[in-house]
Chain A
Amino acid sequence: MVQVKIPTPLRKYTAGAGGVEADGATVGALVDDLERRYPGLKERICDEAGQVRRFVNIFVNGEDIRFLGHLDTALKPGDELSIVPAIAGGR
């Protein structure tokens, strides 16, 4: 299982949980698993073409997946994945 950190604005999909568990050999597979467990979540993270939305950052053990293998980035049990909006709201 991979530990997934959920940002505040997406916790409405996880019954308020800031941390959840999900499965997947890659980030893409994990996002699909998140969608099975928490329907509606994937659409917020990925666009219609299935790519990570421009303003969304996904980190695996603190590394941005844009500098790893994007959605093909490999995961192993015990990894920590964070979903972070690129920008904070409210000046």
Chain B
Amino acid sequence: MLGARAALARPATPAEGPRAVASALALVGNTPLVEIMRVRDGIAPGVRILGKLEGFNPGGSVKDRPALKMIEDGLARGLLVDGKTILDSTSGNTGIALAMVGAALGYPVELVMPGNVSKERKEVVAAFGARVIYSDPLEGSDGAIRLCRKILAEHPERYFKPDQYNNPANTLAHYETTGPEIWRQTEGAVTHFVAAIGTGGTIMGTGRYLKERNPAVQVIAAEPDDAFHGLEGLKHMASSIVPGIFHEEELDRKVGVSTEDAYNMVYRLAREEGLLLGQSSGAAHVVALGIARTLREGTVVVIFPDFGDRYLSTNLWRGWQPPRDALG
């Protein structure tokens, strides 16, 4: 099998690290990079594509980083104190991350989610002990944002709202962790950074750090190509409440991806790379491939925000059949 030997290559020395850590929170970050060996059609040999597997975070997604940072910041500034509940609106991974961090620190968590988030997400959040309030599915994540604002306005004294869309600690989490990790893991070789935009925290914070280290690094955002899409967690900025932390002028490019192309990329990455990822990873990889095809050499790092097992009940996989030619 072409590339099988490379896929089996192991590091010369095993990764070193402490045998045990003090809590789940100490496991946030330091996620691995994996080289994409097969789903790289039309790419010059001098171009590498490296996926950062954020599913390795303890809460299962990239959102552990901002959730932890925003709560640490709230504690440090005295905004989150005993007796308060952590409240935010989320369509999924941030809710899981806040529920995980809240559980680890002993703070109650309430989350406003659109009624059409995936079944797995609802169940994971409940397993961490968080309370979920559902908003109108027809209004998407903006409906959850509005309902959350209303709940907070009625009882501001009860809650600490991390407010991932407007909290600079979201961006800072990536500036302090994701960016330096990528720089270190590529030994400064990264030339292009690709991430899909939900709040914009990942691309803003990581992009800022990488550009400080090397102003030539290109920062490219992937977004749904239309307001009506099926890419959980992602925002079509032109039709959305634009997050306060999102500053489009800091991006080099923003590329639209259709839901169908992103879904098809998820299927390919699972079957050809052994990487079962979520739809936002599919969207990001579509853009990473497009960028990589324009290069003769370079190192493209793409964020894979989570693994795909959380989406097995969603339309991404429901009713999916292997393509005819794959059945032999």
Contact = CB atoms under 8 A, between A and B. Distances in A.
A7 B115 CA distance: 13
A53 interface: yes
B92 interface: yes
Nearest to B137: A84
> What is the interface of chain B mostly: helix, strand, loop, or mixed?
loop
Contact of B116 (A12, A66, A84): A84
B142 A5 contact: no
Contacts of A87: 91, 116-118, 229-233, 279, 314-315
B164 interface: yes
B315 A10 contact: no
Given A55-B230, A57-B315, A66-B319, A88 B140 contact: yes
B259 interface: yes
Interface residues of A, number: 25
A9 B227 contact: yes
B166 to A, nearest CB: 13
Contacts of A56: 230, 315
B138 interface: yes
Interface in A23-70: 44, 47, 53-57, 66
Given A9-B140, A88-B91, 4 more contacts: A54-B260, A54-B316, A84-B138, A89-B140
Interface of A: 5-10, 12, 18, 44, 47, 53-57, 66, 82, 84-91
Interface of B: 63, 90-94, 113-114, 116-118, 137-145, 164-165, 198-199, 224, 226-236, 239-240, 259-260, 263, 279, 314-316, 318-319
